[in-house]
Amino acid sequence: MRVAFVYYDYSSFVEQDYEILSRHFDVERVQYSKPGDIFEMASSISRSDIVFSWFAAGHSFLSVMLSRIFGKRSVVVAGGYDVAFLPDIGYGQYTQGWIKRKYTDLALENADAVLAVSQFTREEVLKRTKPRRLEVVYNGVDTEKFHPKGEKDDLVLTVASGSTNVIKLKGLDTFVEAAYLLPNVKFLIIGVRGDVLNILRSKSPENVKILGRVSRDELVECYQRAKVYCQLSYVESFGMALAEAMACGCVPVVTDRGALPEVVGDTGFYVPYGDEKATAEAIRMAMVSEKSPRDRIERSFRIDQRERRLVTLLKELPEKGR
């Protein structure tokens, strides 16, 4: 079976699904970044049996419409940003103009299947529209790659990337403020660059270290060193870095927002968004906790579980006309 794999940005979780599908199908990658790319997209879809698109946006709207024209099946992954409406922090596709919102609506309504990465994201989809078929297929972690190793340091870690609104979105300001309350504990922020990095450095105490992008191997090493991983977000549709950190044995400290409770369950500590005092106290408890977050990832969020579900769904998706 041939699959046209359509995307806008080739992020780590998009790459992961491409690799999964490529093990089972003949997959052709199609990046849509400018209007002229529609010709390559149409050519690929015409040769394919199924169109698989990550994120419901302009590129997936085009891929779904082209799949209907060519009589092909279509699947769209709702990843979070595409169905979010958070005007308070300027986050989400639905905070954009009406044209972008309409593209998303039409992609979700006309795809043969929409796959949400969490129950929370599924509910966000249903707030916008009612797809023909809507299922939850959780993101997955490679627990052979992400695993504990050696002794843990008294280190608190968080990972984030993006423009300046990522500070509020990921609660990085709260992370820094909590560090002031725990001067003898090391804090590490990974992934930020440019203005975000400069802003955070200007506000951080001496016990906070800030790195830009690191390699995958370096990131795994940081997960393996850290005792605690913080996800202090305003909202999360899943929390991929959080799940990877949990697989490496980090005890999570998270807000009770979005899909974070789905991922963490009873293996971590919950704090209100923006509360640095509660965050510092939760970090203190997490440092001495004997919780086993890796067990939860191995039980519910392994990459092979996502692989089996995706492959089964694509094989069983009814052909057009049946």
SS3 (DSSP) at 50: strand
Of 18, 27, 76, whose CA–CA distance to 52 is shortest?
Answer: 76
If asked whether residues 260 and 222 sit together in one domain, one would say yes
Q: Where are the beta strands (DSSP E) in the chain?
A: 2-7, 26-31, 50-54, 73-78, 113-116, 134-136, 153-159, 186-190, 208-211, 226-231, 251-255, 269-271
If asked whether residues 292 and 312 sit together in one domain, one would say no
Q: How many CB atoms lie within 10 A of CB 74?
A: 27
Query: Does residue 146 form part of some domain?
Result: no
Q: Mean pLDDT throughout 55-63?
A: 96
pLDDT-based confidence at residue 322 (cuts at 50, 70, 90): very low
DSSP 250: P
- CA atoms of 154 and 319, how far apart (whole Å): 54
| pLDDT per residue as tens digits for the range 94-110 | 999 899 999 999 999 99
CB-based contacts of 103: which residues, under 8 Å, 6+ apart? 56, 57, 58, 60, 61
Query: Does residue 197 form part of some domain?
Result: yes
Of 53, 28, 156, whose CA–CA distance to 106 is shortest?
Answer: 53
Instruction: Label residue 217 exposed, middle or buried (CB < 10 Å: 0-12, 13-18, 19+).
Output: exposed
If asked whether residues 266 and 226 sit together in one domain, one would say yes
If asked whether residues 95 and 49 sit together in one domain, one would say yes
If asked whether residues 112 and 196 sit together in one domain, one would say no
pLDDT-based confidence at residue 203 (cuts at 50, 70, 90): very high
Find the CATH number of the domain harbouring 88. Answer: 3.40.50.2000
If asked whether residues 160 and 289 sit together in one domain, one would say yes
- CA atoms of 309 and 123, how far apart (whole Å): 20
Query: Does residue 321 form part of some domain?
Result: no
| pLDDT per residue as tens digits for the range 309-321 | 999 999 999 876 4
pTM value > 0.85: yes
Average pLDDT of the chain, as a whole number: 95
Query: Does residue 87 form part of some domain?
Result: yes
* Structural domain boundaries, residue 196: 153-300
If asked whether residues 157 and 296 sit together in one domain, one would say yes
If asked whether residues 242 and 309 sit together in one domain, one would say no
pLDDT at site 102: 95
Q: How many domains does the chain have?
A: 2
